Copies of this chain bind each other. A is one copy, B any other.
């Protein structure tokens, strides 16, 4: 059966041994935030996730959401769990204290998010969408919108949605048809159909705030004519409490492969009262604020699934007895040896472990830079950090979610036939994980974002935030024989990444289709090198302590062992990706469309 224990020891390693979270918090003026406090926050989050959210994961999948008379009922236990979640202050963890939030840095937020997603991905959708809505209003909304709505999102009494997709448009938002008619009093009447709206209707909160992309009558076509509106399900009354019902209804729930406990709604807006967020026709900008944060958040979903699937697989591999180890019986008093003794099983487990821990470190690096971009004392530092986040966001989203599905599938494979049975919980990870590769921009779109938008900025300026530290690390530690098993493969794969980057830059200049044809492979190559950098750094941090005794020594030895595995067995993919990329796009671009 699936199990979950929050990886708190690894999180502390990343915060204080791999990165220097304490100094960063001090620099950002987070004076009150100490490792003790941070550990307490993570520990409390772990308890909630293990004891409240995780036990609802299987039952929520079986029960799903139900639409009756326009109202959506979430699965049994979700309402109580959400109340506990909001009561604990988790909805406002990263929100501004001015609105009742706790103002904790992204570095901690992302770790909490990982735990929530590992424990119950469907549940995590509800506060996750609220946080996106919070960010959009916080960064783009007028003061009266902020003061009226943000405290409700921060305390979790109201939730939020992102209403972008319509039947005829997902990726291509320029095709949005939802209209916004000025009502003369500064407001707008919103009319149109939205689909795939997560948390679009549910029974967890007393109100829902829809952030809706729509076109004001007379605005230009395409994306430049889109504006963002806040459309409450219930219009607040004079006391700020939910008042008159607004013109938005849930017309259907989607039947999905997974995340069954997350209500994915079709919403109809009919002359619904909407409030402009940001300026007219600048809806895409505001939407991208939500999207970028959301993309990192989806990356954390992938990471959460990796961790949960890995843990479930390890538990089964210890307990299931089948066959004998090739090198002779290991449990001669039992009818068979635990399958953990089989090298191919351990290959699968180590793959999950290496991806999960590598991704956790990389996610922490990105989150720390996100904090630095917003809070570092030095403006140059802030700018460089923002560049880094812009570069790494599509990589984290696509890589972590692709790996999430891979590791979830390995989890099923470790269970064999029992992995295919719903009761055991492993196949749910595969079904739940699958959407993360799609929403908030498919992973193909992330790759195009990386290659088409991020690489060209300032003649490769964004790349420096990654290339320079990797270079510096290789130069600093290349001569250390103890680190050679880590630095050498890193250097080799980094060379492949640099070569592929130069190849794409040159090819893409002449023909953007050439770069697009290799974008997905390039993103994966970049991501694997980024994980290699994390693993080399983790190995360096762990190596001096690997001789320690007790649980700590075991932790560091496992860290080194996993680093070795990553370098020897997973990183070689980089060479194949380099070969495929530099093979050129001809075989794709020359294939006649009518021949498919």
Partner of A405, one of B175, B342, B409: B409
Are A591 and B569 in touch, CB under 8 angstroms?
no
Contact partners of A172 in chain B: CB under 8 A? 321-323, 336
Q: Which residue of B lies closest to A508 (CB)?
A: B326
Q: Which residue of B lies closest to A594 (CB)?
A: B554
A347, CB-defined interface residue at 8 Å? yes
A181, CB-defined interface residue at 8 Å? no
A471, CB-defined interface residue at 8 Å? no
Are B576 and A561 in touch, CB under 8 angstroms?
no
Stretch at the interface among A28-36, A442-450, A456-464: A442-450
Are A565 and B591 in touch, CB under 8 angstroms?
yes
- Distance to closest chain B CB from A426 (angstroms): 9
A332, CB-defined interface residue at 8 Å? no
Q: Kindly supply a per-residue 1/0 record for chain A positions 417-447, scoring 1 wherever the CB is within 8 Å of any chain B CB and 0 otherwise.
A: 1111111000100110011011100111001
Q: Which residue of B lies closest to A418 (CB)?
A: B170
A482, CB-defined interface residue at 8 Å? no
Are B435 and A420 in touch, CB under 8 angstroms?
yes
Contact partners of A593 in chain B: CB under 8 A? 340-341, 346
Partner of A595, one of B326, B554, B575, B591: B554
A465, CB-defined interface residue at 8 Å? no
Contact partners of A596 in chain B: CB under 8 A? 314, 317-318, 340, 346, 349, 353, 558
> Given A257-B431, A343-B516, A593-B341, A323–B438 Cβ distance below 8 Å?
no
> Given A343-B513, A444-B344, A511-B327, A565–B580 Cβ distance below 8 Å?
no
Are B409 and A438 in touch, CB under 8 angstroms?
no
- Distance to closest chain B CB from A331 (angstroms): 11
A573, CB-defined interface residue at 8 Å? yes
Contact partners of A420 in chain B: CB under 8 A? 256-258, 434-435, 438
Are A254 and B561 in touch, CB under 8 angstroms?
no
> Given A257-B422, A343-B589, A517-B344, A572–B580 Cβ distance below 8 Å?
yes
Q: Kindly supply a per-residue 1/0 record for chain A positions 332-376, scoring 1 wherever the CB is within 8 Å of any chain B CB and 0 otherwise.
A: 000110001111111111100100000000000000000000000
Contact partners of A452 in chain B: CB under 8 A? 326
Query: Measured between alpha carbons, how far is A430 from B572 in the docked complex, in Å?
Result: 27
Are B565 and A587 in touch, CB under 8 angstroms?
yes
A568, CB-defined interface residue at 8 Å? yes
A146, CB-defined interface residue at 8 Å? no
A382, CB-defined interface residue at 8 Å? no
Most buried by B among A169, A314, A317: A169
Contact partners of A349 in chain B: CB under 8 A? 596
Contact partners of A431 in chain B: CB under 8 A? 257, 431
- Distance to closest chain B CB from A567 (angstroms): 8
A184, CB-defined interface residue at 8 Å? no
Are B587 and A350 in touch, CB under 8 angstroms?
yes
A171, CB-defined interface residue at 8 Å? yes
Are A175 and B335 in touch, CB under 8 angstroms?
yes
Contact partners of A554 in chain B: CB under 8 A? 592, 594-595
Q: Which residue of B lies closest to A585 (CB)?
A: B343
Partner of A437, one of B169, B353, B413: B413
Are A430 and B340 in touch, CB under 8 angstroms?
no
Query: Measured between alpha carbons, how far is A570 from B576 in the docked complex, in Å?
Result: 9
Contact partners of A447 in chain B: CB under 8 A? 344
Are A322 and B412 in touch, CB under 8 angstroms?
no
Query: Measured between alpha carbons, how far is A391 from B341 in the docked complex, in Å?
Result: 26
Most buried by B among A412, A448, A516, A585: A516
Q: Which residue of B lies closest to A448 (CB)?
A: B344
Are A588 and B322 in touch, CB under 8 angstroms?
no
Q: A342-B444, A420-B438 are in contact. List 20 more A-B contacts (CB 8 A).
A: A170-B322, A170-B416, A174-B336, A254-B421, A257-B412, A317-B596, A327-B513, A340-B596, A343-B585, A343-B589, A344-B519, A350-B587, A416-B442, A430-B434, A554-B592, A558-B596, A561-B591, A568-B583, A570-B580, A575-B575
**8 cross-chain CB contacts under 8 A:** A170-B322, A196-B417, A255-B422, A344-B444, A409-B434, A427-B434, A569-B580, A572-B575
A interface residue numbers (CB < 8 A to B): 165, 168-172, 174-175, 196, 254-258, 314, 317-318, 321-323, 325-327, 335-336, 340-350, 353, 405, 409, 412-413, 416-423, 427, 430-431, 434-435, 437-439, 442-444, 447-448, 452, 511-513, 516-517, 519-521, 554, 557-558, 561-562, 564-565, 567-570, 572-577, 579-580, 583-596
